[in-house]
Structure 1
Amino acid sequence: MVFYFKARPEAGDYTIFMGLDKHENEELIKYGFPEDIWFHVDKMSSAHVYLRLNKGQTIDDINEGLLEDCAQLVKANSIQGNKVNNVDVVYTPWFNLKKTPSMDVGQVGFHNPKMVRTVKVEKRINEIVNRLNKTKVERKPDLKAEREAVNAVERAERKVQLRDKKKREELERLEKEKQAEIRSYKSLMVSEKMTSNKQIASANKSLQELEDDFM
């Protein structure tokens, strides 16, 4: 089971989601999207909350309102974190999550700790948490199938891009050959290398005169 929430409208059309338990979290870790941003209460047990950005966006595109929604939701879904003030929430791109065979179910590390950011949540804001909970929807998605569908689309896009690149390269090659041919033709038309009709006639006359002298 995955729980889906809608972020505040003024922040944009974004979906926030989290797994039911650590086993569901394991699936979310495995089949995440490149646009997913992972949130967790630092040094405490909490839900794994994800924000799905629009394609092409990065962690730098998260505005303050959107960040506050995610941070409040993850704090509210931490048994310990929900009881205390001034908790740190860490967040990082999904692709920075590191999973090794020795880790427990739902446990993660990071490939690059420098890509992990922290936001401090002073206290729970019920207005935000209640608003998010009103948008809550439960679904049982096939995470693997969703990930495979995205992979198929990305492969098709890369195929089109590669084809377009080859087409551009071929057109550029033909244009270079054309320009080289034009330059070569122009070099043959240089005035110093050309002979006029007058010069030809003059040369022929001189030859005739030589023949007459010989006779």
Structure 2
Amino acid sequence: MVFYFTSTAVDPPVTLFMGMDKFENEHLIKWGWPEDVWFHVDKVSSAHVYLRLNPGESLDSVPQTLIEDAAQLVKANSIEGCKMNDVDVVYTMWENLHKTESMEVGQIGFHKQKEVRKIRGEREQRDKEEREDKKKKMKKIEEQKKEEEKKRKEEAELRSYSNLMKEEKMKSNKDGGSDSDDFM
């Protein structure tokens, strides 16, 4: 028997379908609709969760909160996944699921791997952008510190007496100078 859940992560609430074991997952695979979005914990056994979109809706139009809600349902109903801190949840349109006779009950593949999305993958991209932004800010701060240090050294050099007694700046009154001891 397939389970039905109501997700209140969006308004109006939507229904999520879930298979509790591999036989129910197989049933969902067989009878899915082209508008269904399939969710599964990546690389470990888990329930299959389906979100039925309205005709004309695309995967890009699904709110992130609803995707996360379906992912939490999949993770919570995975024997191994529910015990893990970090899991990837993959999702794709039902039409992208590929099932052959040689596959075990409940097992699937994909027609196009590029159309499979990962929830943690999206989070990793966001975190990567955040790290790059942080690096840029730190680099800017380092450049400002170097510029300030350079400015301080220049100012210290101007105040220093070391530049006053250089030979090329000195003049002599010995040869040909008009040095007269006659003061009066």
- For normalisation by structure 1, the TM-score amounts to 0.54
Per the alignment, residue 50 of structure 1 pairs with 50
**Partner amino acid for 2:35?**
E
Confirm whether residue 39 of structure 1 aligns to residue 6 of structure 2: no
Partner Cα distance (1:46, 1:9) in 2: 22
Per the alignment, residue 95 of structure 2 pairs with 95
Partner Cα distance (2:2, 2:86) in 1: 28
1:11–1:65 Cα contact (<8 Å) kept: no
Per the alignment, residue 192 of structure 1 pairs with none
Per-residue deviation at 1:25? Answer: 1.2
**Partner amino acid for 1:90?**
V
Partner Cα distance (2:65, 2:11) in 1: 6
The structure in which a higher percent of residues are helix is 1
Percent identity, aligned pairs only, is 62
Which of 19-28 and 91-100 deviates more? 19-28
Per the alignment, residue 74 of structure 1 pairs with 74
**Which of 1 and 2 has higher RCO (CA within 8 Å, sep 6+)?**
1
Describe the SS at the equivalent of 1:87. coil
Relative to structure 1, the CA distance from residue 19 to residue 97 in structure 2 (aligned partners, 3 Å threshold; closer, same or farther) is: same
1:8–1:65 Cα contact (<8 Å) kept: no
Partner Cα distance (1:102, 1:26) in 2: 14
Question: Aligned residues, how many?
Answer: 122
**Partner amino acid for 2:50?**
Y
Ranges in structure 1 where 5+ consecutive residues have no aligned partner:
123-215
Per-residue deviation at 1:11? Answer: 4.3
1:92–1:116 Cα contact (<8 Å) kept: yes
Per-residue deviation at 1:31? Answer: 1.0
Describe the SS at the equivalent of 1:33. coil
Structure 1 runs of 4+ aligned residues shifted over 6 Å read none
1:126-137 equivalences in 2 (<5 Å): none
Ranges in structure 2 where 5+ consecutive residues have no aligned partner:
124-184
Per-residue deviation at 1:13? Answer: 3.1
Per the alignment, residue 115 of structure 1 pairs with 115
Partner Cα distance (2:120, 2:79) in 1: 17
